Amino acid sequence: MKCLVTGGAGFIGANFVRHLLRARPRAEVVNLDLLTYAGHLENLEDLADERRHVFVEGDICDAALVHELMEGVEVVFHLAAESHVDRSIQADTPFVRTNVGGTAVLLSAALRAGVRRFVQVSTDEVYGELPWVDPEQGTGPRFTEETPLAPRSPYSATKAAADHLALAYHTTHGLDVVVTRCSNNYGPFQHPEKLIPLMITRAMADEPLPVYGDGLYVRDWIHVSDHCRGLLAAAERGRAGRVYNFGGDAERTNLSVVRQILRMLGKPETLVEHVTDRPGHDRRYAIDHARATRELDWRPERDFDDGLADTVQWYLEHEPWSAAVTAAARSR
């Protein structure tokens, strides 16, 4: 099986490429990544001698390159995206270009090449926000695949547009498309600007930990390894034209996650610094993954407390990696 993975030098992409090569010994992977601030070859160093993995530095908006790479591809896993909400608030044009325009280029090339399946990897943020519920007191409504899309940031709006475009290619052109939407990922190789690695690396350096607003924003956390299993399951067992949600059954407030990290590192809570909230900050996300469990035989396996402990340990053991990718991001 020949696969094209876009964004395969990023956090989720690099973890997925490893999972795919490990789980499917006959799989061949063409990995297309532009190596922007969140994509780094350091994430793929252990695959340098893997003959089934070919890395191509390039832009998904480059139609000629994409059409060339699509030849002989059976499955596309489209993970490439501008993905940081804060950055989309500061400048949204790159998000429109990559997340919408790049997806259009890939869909057109996949249709022309006769690709067997196109997996559009999206986010729960396209659903908007849910009513706030204290996760320590109980659970509330969750996003299902039937929840109307109501994106509230430039980032999530562009991802919603890309999802609509992908599903339109299925309806209009008959392209076999599956859309996946996941909750907040965590685990190894995540860029240090994201919440969990940011808090880990700053706490390690005894620096202030910036927490937006009151810190009571609720997120459903999924370990990246569980998400990778879901993507492969969607590719192999999903129904064309369907959307599948992947969640971790691990709702936490941001503040509780930060405090847990501090306890694991033996650092004082006085490092927490509440900062001005970002515009349009969604109060709560939570995923109902019943369809994925029912149709794909998928469910999250990693316990959040254990997964977070492993993640903290990974960053402790990979300080040079964190420093390198942080420096590289600042230079771009």
Query: pLDDT-derived band of residue 229, with 50, 70 and 90 as boundaries?
Result: very high
Count of domains for the chain: 1
Query: pLDDT-derived band of residue 295, with 50, 70 and 90 as boundaries?
Result: very high
Tens of pLDDT, residues 117-154: 999 999 999 999 999 999 988 889 999 999 999 999 99
Q: Is 186 a catalytic residue?
A: no
User: Percent of the chain beyond pLDDT 90?
Assistant: 89
Separation of alpha carbons 232 and 221, rounded Å: 19
Res 195 pLDDT > 70? yes
State the catalytic residue, choosing from 33, 124, 163, 226. 124
pLDDT given for residue 86 in this prediction: 84
Residue 265 placed within a domain: no
Rounded to the nearest angstrom, the gap between the alpha carbon of residue 107 and the centroid of all alpha carbons in its chain is 20
Residue 322 placed within a domain: no
Collapse the DSSP code of 194 into the 3-class scheme (helix H, G, I; strand E, B; otherwise coil) and give the result.
coil
Res 325 pLDDT > 90? no
* Residue with the two structure tokens 């009513």: 131
Please say whether the dihedral angle defined by the alpha carbons of residues 60, 47, 315 and 319, taken in this order, is positive or negative.
Answer: negative
Q: Which helix (H) or strand (E) holds 177?
A: strand 177-182
Q: Is 37 a catalytic residue?
A: no
Residue 198 placed within a domain: no
- Select the more confidently predicted residue: 91 or 178: 178
pLDDT given for residue 217 in this prediction: 96
Q: Is 155 a catalytic residue?
A: yes
State the catalytic residue, choosing from 155, 169, 244, 285. 155
pLDDT given for residue 125 in this prediction: 96
Residue 330 placed within a domain: no
Give every CB contact of residue 144 below 8 A, 6+ residues apart in sequence.
Answer: 245, 288, 290, 291
Tens of pLDDT, residues 245-280: 999 999 999 999 999 999 999 999 999 999 999 898
Res 328 pLDDT > 80? no
Residue 150 placed within a domain: yes
Residue 158 placed within a domain: yes
Radius of gyration of the chain (CA): 19
Closest CA to 147 of 294, 296, 286, 282: 286
Structure tokens at 197: 């690695």
Tens of pLDDT, residues 22-51: 999 999 999 999 998 788 899 999 999 999
Q: Please report which residue ranges of the chain form alpha helices under DSSP H.
A: 11-23, 63-69, 85-90, 93-95, 103-113, 154-173, 195-204, 224-237, 254-265, 290-296, 304-317, 319-330
Residue 93 placed within a domain: yes
Which CATH number is 144's domain given? 3.40.50.720
Separation of alpha carbons 23 and 28, rounded Å: 12
State the catalytic residue, choosing from 28, 33, 82, 125. 125
pLDDT given for residue 291 in this prediction: 98
User: What mean pLDDT do residues 49-76 have?
Assistant: 97
Please say whether the dihedral angle defined by the alpha carbons of residues 232, 238, 243 and 246, taken in this order, is positive or negative.
Answer: negative
Residue 113 placed within a domain: yes
Separation of alpha carbons 199 and 194, rounded Å: 8
Q: The pTM is what?
A: 0.95
Structure tokens at 304: 């959040």
Domain around 151? 2-189+222-247+284-302
